Structure 1
Amino acid sequence: MTTRSDWNAWAANHESARITDWLRAISEPDWSATVNHPLFDALAEGRLAGDDFAAYMVQDYGFVDPFTALIGHAIGHAPSMADRVVLGQFMGMLTSDENSTFQRTFEAFAVPQARREAPDYLPETLAFQALLRDTGHSGGYAEMLAALVVTEWVYLEWALRVTRVEGLHPLMGEWIDLHDNPAFQEFVAWLRRRLDEEAEGLDDAAFTRMAVCFRETVARERAFHDAVMPR
């Protein structure tokens, strides 16, 4: 399901086919299960308790370090200055606006300093962190783009899907806003376009590695959100 011949067969039966659409299709049911995860509905509808939101954010913050490292590797492997500029700008947002949301959430919900500095990460968090690090250290540019497309596109999709209630805690609303705004939508569109373009030029082995990376990243996203969902 992850070879160029698989892509060609799928594209032959889909008008205006895009590689990123095919990658999403072969990542089902994990893709839809993540985008439609009940955690996001609970968050947007004000049914997620403050402590549960803080616990989720502590786990999610564990991705900031390996994720920024992945972006750094992608900047280094990018084939053009144009790509480096876009990725660098996103790195700036991640380390400023998004980092600020995390820190203010920890303060607002009284997350102890020790828990911020040495969190008790879930196994699913650790496994996802390892995937991001491995992709940065040993993946090609297309594989790095594949991981980035998944992490950002999934978050855009769930943020566009949910309906927030009146009176939602401001920080919960801010978390949704970070993933549902014109600049973020434009960045996800750019990531998809660049992955479509890069994938076309890959040899068969590299193409399969890229597709496997995409599917594995989706699977790790689902496993992570299943694990952090309050029981």
Structure 2
Amino acid sequence: MTHDYGATFPRLRDATGTVWTDYTHHAFVEGLREGTLPRKAFLGYLVQDYVFLIHFARAWALAVTKADALEEMRACAATVDALVNHELSLHVKTCAEAGLSEADLYSAEEHPANLAYTRYVLDAGHSGNFLDLLAALAPCVMGYGEIGARLGPVPDDHPYADWIGTYAGDDYQQVCRDAGTLFDGAVERRLGDDPTTTPGWERLCHRFTTATRLEVAFWDMGLSFGR
């Protein structure tokens, strides 16, 4: 199920083989679904995800400079706004309840799994083109959309209702649809209407799959905080 996230995303997702399922059905995710994930693991993950989103926003800002069309620039700039001014607020609110300030989050030491993932995405943008960057960004955007849609809705008293509700909600699902539209248009503009037959397609698959593997490692990191 792709939840109308465009045509490019499901093709790249299917090209990952079992890696996509490893990501979207990870033990960390299933713990969120069942409400059994240790709170310590969740808070450790949230702190690292806050740091991740800072770099993720920088990567989307980089995409503005890599874009070839005004509509691409607008879409990327809107994503930066959504990350910086909206999604980060979930992390700040939840961590504040545990006694952690936003200053604590911003100054947190990055876990090696976080460093590996964020720097891979940024390098994809600096060393590659607009499509390289989108392929590295897409697993996070669409993966969380798929996870949220599968896990939600949940009752208000579910331990992770706020997190699940954020990614299952209409606003985030629209972010995924908009990202899918952006990706489809960018691929058609650069690779034509039959992109899978072009030399650039294999490169996109590799970018997307590598980023998905790094998402799996990010969940592994999250579980490690609960041990």
1:129 aligns with 2:118: yes
Question: Which stretch of structure 1 is more off in the superposition, 154-163 or 172-181?
Answer: 172-181
CA distance in 2 between counterparts of 1:152 and 1:68 reads 12
Q: Which one of 137, 147, 160 corresponds to residue 149 of structure 2?
A: 160
How many residue pairs get aligned? The number is 213
Equivalence for 1:191: 179
Aligned 8 A contact 1:44 1:165 in 2: no
In the alignment, residue 42 of structure 1 is paired with which amino acid?
G
Aligned 8 A contact 1:128 1:221 in 2: yes
Aligned 8 A contact 1:19 1:196 in 2: yes
Deviations along 1:65-104, whole A, 9 cap, x unmatched? 2211110111122222222222222211211121221112
Q: Which one of 4, 15, 21 corresponds to residue 32 of structure 1?
A: 21
1:46 aligns with 2:35: yes
Q: Which one of 19, 42, 61 corresponds to residue 72 of structure 1?
A: 61
SS in 1 for 2:37: coil
Aligned 8 A contact 2:46 2:91 in 1: yes
Aligned 8 A contact 2:64 2:77 in 1: yes
CA distance in 1 between counterparts of 2:54 and 2:69 reads 24
CA distance in 2 between counterparts of 1:113 and 1:75 reads 27
CA distance in 2 between counterparts of 1:108 and 1:96 reads 19
CA distance in 1 between counterparts of 2:11 and 2:82 reads 29
Equivalence for 2:201: 207
Shift of 1:166: 4.7
CA 1:18–1:166: 2 relative to 1, 3 Å: closer
CA distance in 2 between counterparts of 1:106 and 1:37 reads 23
Where does structure 1 lack aligned partners over 5 or more consecutive residues? Answer: 1-16
TM-score by length of 2: 0.82
Shift of 1:34: 1.1
Shift of 1:130: 1.2
TM-score by length of 1: 0.81
SS in 2 for 1:56: helix
In the alignment, residue 157 of structure 2 is paired with which amino acid?
G
Shift of 1:59: 1.3
CA RMSD in angstroms, aligned pairs only: 2.4
1:101 aligns with 2:98: no
CA 1:98–1:113: 2 relative to 1, 3 Å: closer
Where does structure 2 lack aligned partners over 5 or more consecutive residues? Answer: 1-5
In the alignment, residue 217 of structure 1 is paired with which amino acid?
A
Equivalence for 1:138: 127
Equivalence for 2:3: none
SS in 1 for 2:68: coil
CA distance in 2 between counterparts of 1:135 and 1:104 reads 31
